[in-house]
Chain A
Amino acid sequence: MLRLEKRPTPSRFWLYATPPVAVLLTMIAGGVLFAAMGKNPFEVIRTIFWDPMFGQFAFYLRGQLLVKAGPLILIAIGLALGFRAGIWNIGAEGQYIMGAVCGAAVGLAVFPTENRLIFPVMILAGAFGGWVWAMIPAILKTRFNTNEILVSLMLVYVAETILAKASTGFLKNPQGMGFPGSRNFSSYPAAQNAYLYEPLGLHWGGVAALVTGVLAYILLTRHQAGFQIRLAGQAPRAARFHGVSPARLVVLCMGISGALAGLAGMFEVTGPAGQISIDFNTGYGFTAIIVAFLGRLNPLGIVLAGFLMALTYVGGEMASTNLGLPSAAIQVFQGMLLFFLLAVDVLTNYRFRLAVGAH
C-alpha cells in the first residue's frame, strides 16, 4: 500500500513542477468534461490554449491577453503577500469594485474638465477606495480579533449593492436616456485609461501590474518587511520573538492588497470596461485567488500565472463563440485547476512510499 512520508526538506523540483503538472492534469480532466458535453476535446483545448497566441485572430487576441492578465496580476500579487503571512483577504472582488467606483466618481465629478492631473488623481482615488474597503476587515481583526475571511467576504456583497446604487443612482449618466450605467470614459479623454500600445493591449493597468510584480519580488526577497511576511507565515512563534507585530502586518498586507485591487478596478472601469455598470466586474477578485496559488505566491510566478489564466479567459470566449462552449464551463475549468494544484502540491512536502510489511 502507498503511504505518505514527510520529506526532510521541501522538494525544490516539485515546487516548480507543480504548476505545469496541474495544468496538464486540468487539460486532461477538462478534456473529459468537454467530451462529456459533446464537444471535441482536442479542438476545445486547442481553441483555449493555442489559438489566442498563434491562431487566425492572434493579432487581436494577443493584445487581449495583457488586458485580462493585468488586473489578475495586480490583485493576485496583493493577495499573495497576505496569504504568505497567513492573512486571508478573500474580499478582493469588493475592493476591486470600490476602487472602480471611487476612481470613476472622482473623474465624473469634474466632467467635462480637461486637465492632465485628472487621471493621476483618479488613480489615487481608486487605490484609496480599495484600501479603505480592505482596512475594514483589517482593523476589525486587529482591534476585535474578528475573522478577516468572513468580514472581507461579506463586504463583497455590500460593495455589489453600492455598485448597483452607483450605476442606477449617483453615478448614472444624466444623458443616458434613463439606462443604468455611468458616462462612458471613452468619450472623456482626460479620465480615460487609453491604450498606450494597442497591439499588445498595453494600458496603464498593464504597466502597473508588471511594475508591481518586480517591486513585490524585491520587497519579498530583499526588504525587511518581506522577510517579516515570510517569517510570520512559516513560523508565527519565531516571528513574534523576532519582534514582528502581527497587527502591523495585518494592516500592511490587507492595505497593500486592497489598494492593488482598487487600482485594478479603477484601470478596468476607465479602460476596457469603459463605464460603471451593474455587472462590469467579472469576478477577477475571485479568479485572482487561483492566480496567486498558481504562481506559488511568488510575484514573478504570479505574472506568468496571470497570463496563463488570461489565456483561459480569452480562449474560453473564443470557444464559446466558435464552438458553443458555455462560459460556465471555463469557470469549472479554472476551479479544477486550483484543485489539481492543491492536490499535486502534496509532493512538495511529502513523498509517496510503498509500505512493505509491518512498520
Chain B
Amino acid sequence: MDFGGINPVILIATLMASAVPILLAALGETVVERSGVLNLGVEGMMIIGALGGFVTAVTTGSPVLGFIGGAVAGAALSLIFALLTQVFLANQVATGLALTLFGLGVSSLGGQGYNGIKPPHTGQLLPDALADLPVVGPILFGHDWVVYFSIAMTVVLWWVLKATRIGLIIRAVGESHEAAHALGYKVNRIRLMCIAFGGAMAGMGGAYVSLARVPQWVDGITSGAGWIALAIVVFASWKPWRVLIGAYLFGGITVLQLNLQVAGSGIPVEYLSMAPYLITILVLVVMSAGRKGKSSAAPAALGQNFHASR
C-alpha cells in the first residue's frame, strides 16, 4: 500500500510524532495569549528547553527527567519575559524578540561540548503486541509517552479554558484587564503564571526535538519551530482543538516533504525544505482573509500591558 514510496500508515504515525514540539509550544502559547499576553519568545524558550532537556537527560540518564528539565528551563527563561512585561511594563513585542535572541545565544553557549552525544532513548509506551497490529498499531499504539501527553494536554486545556473557573479568569484577564481588575483579580499575577506555563510547554516541546526527533544536540536545533507554533495559534483562532489540527497538518507537510526528499521526487531539495514556511504563510493568509470584516477571534487585550492606577 505504497504511494510513490510513501506508506500512508507510517506517514500518519510519523506526523503525530513530528507535530509534538509545535503542538506543545502552541498549546502553551494559546494559554498565554488567551490571558492577553503576546510572547514572541517561543523560539527562544523552545531552544533553551531543547538544551536544558538534553543536558538533564544526558547527565541523569533519564529521558523523563530530561523532559522535566526542558520544561523548567523554558519556564525559567519565560520568567525573564514575565518580569520585564508584567513588572517593568516593557513592550511585549520587543521583549519577546529579545527573549528569542537571548535564548539562541545562551543555548549555543551552553551547548558547547554536547555535540555528537546520543541522549537516552525515549521508548514506545505500550507493548509490542499492540503496536504491531496492522494499520491501527503504528498510528494509535506505537508512540512514546510524550505523544499521548501532548494529546491529553489538548483535551485538558480545552476543558480548562472552556468549563472551569480558572479558564474563565484567564479569559476575563485576556479580554478586558480593566474589568478583571475591577472584579478583584490580580491581572499581572495571573498573566505571570500563564507566561510561566507557556514557557514550560515550549521548553518541553523543545526537549522533544533534541531528545526524540533529532535526537542529538545541534546549534539552532529548533530552526523556526517556535515561530511556526506562533502562526498555528493564529491559525487555530486561539482554540486548543484547532491547535491540534494545525499542528498535525503542519507535521504532515513536514514529514511529507522529508519523504519526498528521500524518495527523490525530482523537486529540488531546497524548494521542498522551504515548503513548510511557505505553507504557513498561505495558511495565515487564508485564515486572516476569511475573517475580514468580522471581529477578530483574538483576545481583546492581546499585547496590551496593564498598570493598575488605583
Closest to B283 in A: A146
* Contact residue among A154, A165, A346 (Cβ-Cβ distance under 8 Å from B270): A165
Q: Is there contact, CB below 8 Å, between B84 and A328? A: no
Alpha-carbon distance between A225 and B54 when the two chains are bound, in angstroms? 50
Closest to A339 in B: B98
The interface residues of chain B lying within 8 Å CB-to-CB of A40 are: none
Q: Is there contact, CB below 8 Å, between A332 and B105? A: yes
Asked if A326 CB lies within 8 Å of chain B CBs, one says: yes
Closest to B279 in A: A154
Closest to B92 in A: A342
Task: Find residues 70-121 in chain B having any chain A CB closer than 8 Å to their own CB.
Answer: 80, 83-84, 88-91, 93-95, 97-98, 101-106, 108-109, 112
Task: Find residues 47-102 in chain A having any chain B CB closer than 8 Å to their own CB.
Answer: 88, 90
Asked if A150 CB lies within 8 Å of chain B CBs, one says: yes
The interface residues of chain B lying within 8 Å CB-to-CB of A336 are: 102
Asked if B263 CB lies within 8 Å of chain A CBs, one says: no
Given A150-B234, A150-B284; A339-B270 close (CB under 8 Å): no
Closest to B106 in A: A332
Q: Is there contact, CB below 8 Å, between B109 and A329? A: yes
Asked if A219 CB lies within 8 Å of chain B CBs, one says: no
Asked if A276 CB lies within 8 Å of chain B CBs, one says: no
Interface string of A319-357 (1 = CB under 8 A from B): 000000010111111111011001101100110000000
* Contact residue among B109, B274, B288 (Cβ-Cβ distance under 8 Å from A328): B109
Q: Is there contact, CB below 8 Å, between A346 and B88? A: yes
With most chain A CB atoms within 10 A of its CB, the pick from B227, B278, B292, B309 is: B227
With most chain A CB atoms within 10 A of its CB, the pick from B94, B101, B288, B292 is: B101
Given A332-B102, A339-B98; A144-B289 close (CB under 8 Å): yes
With most chain B CB atoms within 10 A of its CB, the pick from A158, A329, A333 is: A158
Asked if B231 CB lies within 8 Å of chain A CBs, one says: yes
Smallest distance from the beta carbon of A41 to chain B beta carbons, Å? 16
The interface residues of chain B lying within 8 Å CB-to-CB of A290 are: 98, 101
* Contact residue among A88, A146, A287, A350 (Cβ-Cβ distance under 8 Å from B93): A88
Q: Is there contact, CB below 8 Å, between A144 and B274? A: no
Asked if A155 CB lies within 8 Å of chain B CBs, one says: yes
Alpha-carbon distance between A140 and B310 when the two chains are bound, in angstroms? 41
Q: Is there contact, CB below 8 Å, between B102 and A342? A: no
Q: Is there contact, CB below 8 Å, between A144 and B102? A: no
Q: Is there contact, CB below 8 Å, between B288 and A155? A: no
Interface string of B217-248 (1 = CB under 8 A from A): 00000011001101100100000000000000
Asked if A153 CB lies within 8 Å of chain B CBs, one says: yes
Q: Is there contact, CB below 8 Å, between A145 and B289? A: yes
Alpha-carbon distance between A88 and B303 when the two chains are bound, in angstroms? 13
Smallest distance from the beta carbon of A320 to chain B beta carbons, Å? 12
Q: Is there contact, CB below 8 Å, between A146 and B230? A: no
Alpha-carbon distance between A87 and B25 when the two chains are bound, in angstroms? 25
Interface string of B171-182 (1 = CB under 8 A from A): 000000000000
Interface string of B267-279 (1 = CB under 8 A from A): 0101101100110
Interface size for A (C-beta < 8 A) is 47
Smallest distance from the beta carbon of B52 to chain A beta carbons, Å? 15
Asked if B280 CB lies within 8 Å of chain A CBs, one says: yes
Smallest distance from the beta carbon of A96 to chain B beta carbons, Å? 16
Q: Is there contact, CB below 8 Å, between B292 and A144? A: yes
Alpha-carbon distance between A146 and B292 when the two chains are bound, in angstroms? 10
The interface residues of chain A lying within 8 Å CB-to-CB of B288 are: 144-147
Given A4-B307, A147-B234, A350-B89; A328-B281 close (CB under 8 Å): no
Q: Is there contact, CB below 8 Å, between A146 and B284? A: yes
Q: Is there contact, CB below 8 Å, between B274 and A161? A: yes
Interface string of A285-320 (1 = CB under 8 A from B): 011011001000000000000000000000000000
* Contact residue among A4, A146, A151, A331 (Cβ-Cβ distance under 8 Å from B105): A331
Asked if A46 CB lies within 8 Å of chain B CBs, one says: no
Alpha-carbon distance between A333 and B106 when the two chains are bound, in angstroms? 9
Q: Is there contact, CB below 8 Å, between B292 and A145? A: yes
* Contact residue among B40, B98, B273 (Cβ-Cβ distance under 8 Å from A338): B98
Asked if A6 CB lies within 8 Å of chain B CBs, one says: yes
Closest to A157 in B: B277
Task: Find residues 253-310 in chain B having any chain A CB closer than 8 Å to their own CB.
Answer: 268, 270-271, 273-274, 277-278, 280-281, 284-285, 288-289, 291-292, 307, 309
Asked if A162 CB lies within 8 Å of chain B CBs, one says: yes
Alpha-carbon distance between A182 and B97 when the two chains are bound, in angstroms? 33
* Contact residue among A150, A158, A326, A335 (Cβ-Cβ distance under 8 Å from B112): A326
Smallest distance from the beta carbon of B266 to chain A beta carbons, Å? 15
Asked if A196 CB lies within 8 Å of chain B CBs, one says: no
Asked if A164 CB lies within 8 Å of chain B CBs, one says: yes
The interface residues of chain A lying within 8 Å CB-to-CB of B285 are: 140, 144, 146
The interface residues of chain B lying within 8 Å CB-to-CB of A157 are: 223-224, 274, 277
Alpha-carbon distance between A161 and B267 when the two chains are bound, in angstroms? 14
Alpha-carbon distance between A88 and B292 when the two chains are bound, in angstroms? 20
Smallest distance from the beta carbon of A180 to chain B beta carbons, Å? 13
Q: Is there contact, CB below 8 Å, between B40 and A331? A: no
Smallest distance from the beta carbon of A136 to chain B beta carbons, Å? 8
Q: Is there contact, CB below 8 Å, between B98 and A149? A: no
- Other CB < 8 Å A-B pairs besides A144-B285, A145-B292, 7 of them? A90-B97, A147-B234, A150-B234, A150-B284, A154-B224, A343-B90, A346-B89
Nearest 7 interchain pairs by C-beta = A335-B102, A331-B105, A342-B90, A332-B105, A328-B109, A328-B108, A338-B98
Pick 30 A–B contacts, CB within 8 A, sort by A. A90-B97, A143-B289, A145-B292, A146-B285, A150-B234, A150-B280, A150-B284, A154-B227, A154-B228, A155-B277, A155-B281, A157-B224, A157-B274, A158-B274, A158-B277, A161-B270, A161-B274, A162-B274, A293-B94, A328-B112, A331-B104, A335-B98, A335-B102, A338-B94, A339-B95, A342-B90, A342-B91, A342-B98, A343-B84, A346-B89
- Using CB atoms and an 8 Å cutoff, list the residues of chain B in contact with chain A: 40, 80, 83-84, 88-91, 93-95, 97-98, 101-106, 108-109, 112, 223-224, 227-228, 230-231, 234, 268, 270-271, 273-274, 277-278, 280-281, 284-285, 288-289, 291-292, 307, 309
